[in-house]
Amino acid sequence: MPQSAPADHPNLPARTLVVLGTGGTIAGRASAVGDNVGYTAGEVGVGHLLAGVQGMAAQLHTLSGWVFEAEQVAQVDSKDMGPAVWRSLLARVAHHLVRPEVAGLVVTHGTDTLEETAWLLQAVLAPAKPVVMACAMRPATALVPDGPQNLMDALCVAATPGARGVVAVCAGQVHQAGHVQKVHTYRLDAFDSGDAGPLGCVEEGRLRAWQPWPEGTADRPLFQRLLATTAWPRVELITSHAGADGAVVRALLAASLPSAPLRGLVVAGTGNGTLHADLLTALADAQAAGVVVRRGTRCAYGQVVPGPHDALADTGGLSPVKARLALVLELLAADPC
């Protein structure tokens, strides 16, 4: 079982790694070892996941002498991730980051929304210590599960001297929170960092880095507001496509209620953020009605290169799903206290 580190001893060296569990495929369970798609996510406790790799971790020079703690924050399929779990996770990550004996954290998470959670943690907390997202594409009960290796690699990254910021580890590659995105439905190496490329890779328990760690400044007031606000600003994500007529935008405007008003829209455009003419008209109407609109691209690589006559602001290089979260934070920060 995971060891417990002595508390309230500021003079102890930072040799503790905390593993926070949120569920996902890495904690999934299927009825047969050969079933890699019909499993139930979020079934195996994070303490069990950590105990499964602790013996191997003790044999790695990178992790020799380290202390491990496990804490279950949530147990969900990451497709169902949302503000309630995010609030709990933000609070627990922040709690452990200020403990002097803690050198870093690992968060076990499902793959479907990992990129959103990673971006949110980095944007709000910008941790000076490493917060490493670990995941899996096969359940824990698989004949050859990928979770144990990913968890081991994540622990090694979290124990790397000088590590900082939120990163994700999957199939031996390390991705920055701002760049990581899921690009495959089934393959073990399901994540990519687009044009930026991965931060590095893990080889035999050691990180080989090609890029610097994520940087940023923690936003303490925004952090407090996120924890205190149960209803985050409503921002919806839509997609431009052949035949898009703007009906979805008009339906969202019509359904907007005083108790839950539509505050923002992010649209994943074609190519360089181009939009069907009818959809563009509907979005312009929404913007005129006070809805904040951001324009991104549905392309996996590249970002919108703005032009001088653009009617809608672009997402600043963020993917549509991350841009939606960024707009939520922007609107929340602008709201009167």
Rounded to 5°, angle at Cα 150 from 145 and 154: 160
**CB contact at 8 A, 100 and 12:** yes
Q: Residue type for 249, please?
A: V
Structure-block tokens of residue 315 = 């997402």
Helical residues (DSSP H) of 133-261, grouped into ranges? 147-158, 220-228, 247-255
How far apart (Å, rounded) are the C-alpha atoms in residues 48 and 42?
12
Rounded to 5°, angle at Cα 49 from 189 and 113: 45
Structure-block tokens of residue 25 = 């495929």
Count of CB atoms within 10 A of residue 142's CB? 21
Structure-block tokens of residue 299 = 């392309």
Catalytic residue among 16, 22, 25, 108: 25
How far apart (Å, rounded) are the C-alpha atoms in residues 160 and 14?
12
Query: 68 Cβ partners below 8 Å, 6+ apart?
Result: 2, 3, 16, 17, 18, 19, 50, 54, 57, 155
Q: Residue type for 34, please?
A: G
User: Which residues partner with 267 through β-bridges?
Assistant: 238, 295
**Is 108 among the catalytic positions?**
no
Residue closest to 136 by CA, chosen among 20, 19, 22, 28: 28
**CB contact at 8 A, 20 and 49:** no
How far apart (Å, rounded) are the C-alpha atoms in residues 204 and 61?
10
- How far lies 207's CA from each of 29, 46, 180, in Å? 30, 24, 17
| Active site residue ranges | 25
